[in-house]
Amino acid sequence: MSFVVPKETFSGKVLAVDFGKDDKKITIGGENTLPFLSFEGECPNKPAIAYEIQDCPPDDWPETVLNVYKDVSSDTVTWAKYCQDELKADAIALRLISTHPDRDDRSAEDTAQTVKDVLAAINVPLIILGSNHIEKDANVLVAAAEASSGNNCIIGKAQEGNYKTIVAAALAHNHKLIAMSELDINLAKQLNILITQMGFDKTKLITDPMCAALGYGLEYTYSVMERIRLAGLAQNDQTMQPPILGDVGMYVWKIKETIAPEADVPDWGSIEERGIAWETVTATSMILAGTNLLIMRHPKAVENVKKTIDELI
């Protein structure tokens, strides 16, 4: 008797979310099975990767990744065009880090102009991120949402302390929205419920449960993402069915293993290869846990993860 591969089917389905315009539009999610198990169900859209850029020259990125952008990072628009034209980015994530009160404390009006300039220079989908300062983001992302109206962007991140203002802006200008909670499935569910109770369409929502780098809580991150995905599929919990975001680069390129000089830890090998490997492994773990959208920094790490995605598909 021939062997029949056992298959598991689910009653739930991950919601499909698109962002961007025209022929450059990207759709993530839509699967009704666990990541890459296409023999058990449908996986219509592969995970997408966005290159991270900032609205000011990065002063906290290690040289191993900063050197890649040394000729373009002094100007946000030039940086965005470099990622699109030279690195062939599928999408770009613009982090408005200069608005943080502890950085340049730039005004919402200033950054709105930056958003307009970037959108005028590129045609790939844009993700617009605040500085992760709850009070300031509430103002900045409202201005950014208005400045990018009609471009079907993703804006975020909406958190428990500021979601009402950001949700209203996303609603008014027809954007997609990132809802971020702090590594707890119950908090993620609660925030998604609160946002949809405001009338925000769940098919425009993306869940960010936060992530951690390899060696710094990756296992816990993986577990939370996996539980979110299983709740959406196996339990058909509609509040847990939005696609998942993994904001990988910002967590990887600040840990000891990616910044410690070779002279201090000679046994660890090349610092650049080490950092690329760290971002690659972290991002790959995220997509295996159920992440649909990654934000990354180093082109070689992006190349590695894209190759893995293609091989798994």
Q: Which residues contact 309 (CB under 8 A, 6 or more apart)?
A: 46, 47, 287
Instruction: Give the model confidence (pLDDT) of 162-173 as tens digits.
Output: 999 999 999 999
CATH class of the 46-312 domain in this structure: alpha beta
Instruction: Give the model confidence (pLDDT) of 254-305 as tens digits.
Output: 999 999 999 999 999 999 999 999 999 999 999 999 999 999 999 999 999 9
Helix %, strand %, coil % for the chain, to 5? 45, 15, 40
Q: Which residues contact 2 (CB under 8 A, 6 or more apart)?
A: none
> Residues 18, 152: contact at Cβ < 8 Å?
yes
Pairing of β 26-28 and β 17-19: antiparallel
- Report CA-CA distances (Å) from 186 to 162, 209, 211, 274, 297: 18, 10, 16, 35, 30
Pairing of β 91-95 and β 48-54: parallel
Interior CA angle at 90 toward 30 and 275, to 5°? 105
Give the per-residue pLDDT at 4.
84
Residue-by-residue DSSP string for 138-199:
HHHHHHHHHHTTTS--EEEEE-TTTHHHHHHHHHHHT-EEEEE-SS-HHHHHHHHHHHHHTT
Is the pTM higher than 0.85? The answer reads: yes
- Report CA-CA distances (Å) from 116 to 68, 126, 140, 180: 25, 11, 13, 25
Residue identified by tokens 């390129």 is: 253
Is 90 exceeded by the pLDDT of residue 2? no
**pLDDT category of residue 250 using cuts at 50, 70 and 90:** very high
**pLDDT category of residue 3 using cuts at 50, 70 and 90:** confident
Instruction: Give the model confidence (pLDDT) of 120-159 as tens digits.
Output: 999 999 999 999 999 999 999 999 999 999 999 999 999 9
Torsion of Cα atoms, 85 then 250 then 17 then 169, to 10°: -100
Is 90 exceeded by the pLDDT of residue 6? no
* Burial of 238 from C-beta contacts in 10 A (0-12 / 13-18 / 19+): middle
Instruction: Give the model confidence (pLDDT) of 183-224 as tens digits.
Output: 899 999 999 999 999 999 999 999 999 999 999 999 999 999
Give the per-residue pLDDT at 189.
97
> Residues 192, 179: contact at Cβ < 8 Å?
yes
**pLDDT category of residue 5 using cuts at 50, 70 and 90:** confident
State both tokens at 28: 């993530």
